[in-house]
Amino acid sequence: MEIHFFRKNKACRADLSQPTDLSLVLRDGPANPNCFWAPAVEFSPVVAGEFVGSTALGGPVNFFNVRINPHGNGTHTECVGHIARERYVLHECLQEHHFWAKLVSLYPRRADNSDRVLYRDQFEEVLEPGEAEAFILRTLPNEDLKKQRNYSGINPPYLHPDAARYLAACGVQHLLLDLPSVDREEDGGALLAHHAFWQYPEAVRQDCTITELIYVPNSVPDGYYLLNLQTTSLDLDASPSKPVIFSVLDDA
C-alpha cells in the first residue's frame, strides 16, 4: 500500500506496507532501558475482593495496572513543558503526526573532559536549512544493548547546545534520538540543549518535540522517510510514544 503526498511541490510516495517501528518494547521488570534512576516498569493485576485481574492466577480476564515513568522508561516524546515554568502539555503541542524526516548516523566525539558529545559541525555536514521537518539521529556504534541499557550514572553521550540551536535554525520541529537525553546527565539543571532547541524562554517553539530512547535497526539506511509520530493522550509534558517510519519511494 502506498500513500501519495507533496514535499516542496514535488510528488512523493511512501510504502505503508513496510513500517519500521523506532519505539522500544517495554516489559514488566528491569529488562528495559532506564535512565535518571527512574523506578522499573511494573505490571500488576488489579485485586478487588475475590477478583484477580490475571487469567494466569485464575481470574476471568487480564486487567493490569501499569507503572511507568515516561521520561525514565523507554521511548518517549516530550514538549517544552518539560523545562518550562508555564504549563505546556504534549497533546496540545503535538497537533500533527506525519512529517518529512531525515535519518542520520553519527559518532559522538570525545570532549576535553572525556564526555561523548555531538557537535554543531557534525550536523552542518548532514543537514541543510529547510531540509526536513523531523531529524532522526542514530548514534554509533549502534548496539542491541540500547534496547535494555541502564543509563543511570554512566553519563551517556549528549548534544552540544550549539548543535541543538542549529537544528532549530534549520527548521527541525521534531528531534528523535536513541539517547536518554539531549543534555548531559548531570549539568546542574542547566538543560542547555533543551533550551536551545525549544528557544525557551525567548521565542518558544511550542509545536516542537523531542523524542528520546528510540532504536533504529542497523538494517535501516540513512536517508529520507515519512515519519508517523504517535503518543498517548496524557495531560502531561511527555508521553510514551511510537514513532514509525516509512520508506520514501521517490528521490527527495
Domains of the chain: 2-26+70-247 (3.50.30.50)
Residues of the chain with pLDDT under 50: 252
Q: How far apart are CA 124 and CA 128, in angstroms?
A: 7
Q: How many CA atoms lie within 13 A of 11 on its CB side?
A: 3
Query: What is the predicted pLDDT for the residue at 251?
Result: 53
pTM of the model: 0.96
Alpha helices, DSSP H only, in the chain? 90-93, 120-124, 161-169, 192-198
Query: What is the predicted pLDDT for the residue at 6?
Result: 81
89 Cβ contact partners less than 8 Å away, ≥ 6 residues apart: 79, 81, 234, 235, 236, 237
Q: How far is CA 102 from CA 99, 116, 252, in A?
A: 10, 23, 10
- Find out whether 248 and 224 touch, Cβ atoms under 8 Å: yes
Query: What is the predicted pLDDT for the residue at 252?
Result: 47
59-76 pLDDT, tens digit each: 999 999 999 999 999 999
28-46 pLDDT, tens digit each: 999 999 999 999 999 999 9
- Find out whether 149 and 189 touch, Cβ atoms under 8 Å: no
